[in-house]
Amino acid sequence: MTGVMRGLLLLLALALPLRAEEIVSGVSTSDISITTDFNGTAILIYGAAMREAPPPDWPLLQVIVTVEGPATPLVIRKKQRVAGIWLNRGAVEIASAPSFYAVATTGELEAILSPEEDAKHHVSIPSTIRAIAGKEDEDTYVEALQRIREGTGQYRLAQNAVLLLRQSLFRTDVTLPANLVEGDYRVRIFLTRGGKVVDLQENVIDVRKAGLERWLYNLAMQQPLIYGLLSLVIAMLAGWGASELFRRLRL
């Protein structure tokens, strides 16, 4: 009877679906303060793939990490040379696009994430831009936005930048620039096998101005007239101080 019961329990265990791989992750900081001397920072994203059964030999586990800044509106203009002069010949208004977007992977993105999964989760830079901007028919402007912001370091693709150990532990560093936009930065971690996402986890990093930067920002937003007058007074004092310094040096 004991043997029969053990056999039934074994068959039941085999019949039940195995628990999917799950992410356990962390970020080195949950908030960033932008002060007058802030010149960018690096964040560490780390974690592990937890499972109740041994991982399959194939396909191998892959990890994708994305960091997305607050969306902001912008206008993309197309320039054309006319009679030797560069003129604006077209423009499209994008209601919002990520102010910062970084992707880090364990391998080539196209090899570890299928186009269908990319379209579903908006992982790659073009897919993310189109998802937020809503300009499916403006491929030229989407490509221009990606090219411009990649040039300024606001959009980044770092393939093979995620270290994965024993098909379980992973870590990567993402550098945030000095010109961060204030707001919530969404950190997403994807586990993929054979191009399909098997688990996803999100974290949020709060980026806020602090100290003098915060005071000036609030003043500009809440009291624009006072902020403008104060800026004018500071400019006048700076000009007077410079002229007085040069006058004394000539004496």
> Which residues does 161 contact at the CB level (< 8 Å), separation at least 6?
104, 105, 172
The predicted-structure confidence for 46-57, as pLDDT tens digits, reads as follows 999 998 888 888
For residues 175 and 69, what is the distance between their CA atoms, to the nearest angstrom?
Answer: 13
Hey, where are the domains in the chain? 16-69+96-209, 211-251
The predicted-structure confidence for 154-171, as pLDDT tens digits, reads as follows 999 999 999 999 999 999
Q: How confident is the model at residue 35 (pLDDT cuts 50, 70, 90)?
A: confident
Q: Is the domain covering 16-69+96-209 a CATH 1.10.3720.10 domain?
A: no
The predicted-structure confidence for 111-136, as pLDDT tens digits, reads as follows 999 999 999 999 999 898 877 655 54
For residues 228 and 47, what is the distance between their CA atoms, to the nearest angstrom?
Answer: 47
Burial of 76 (C-beta count, 10 Å sphere; 0-12/13-18/19+): buried
User: So what's the pLDDT on residue 12?
Assistant: 42
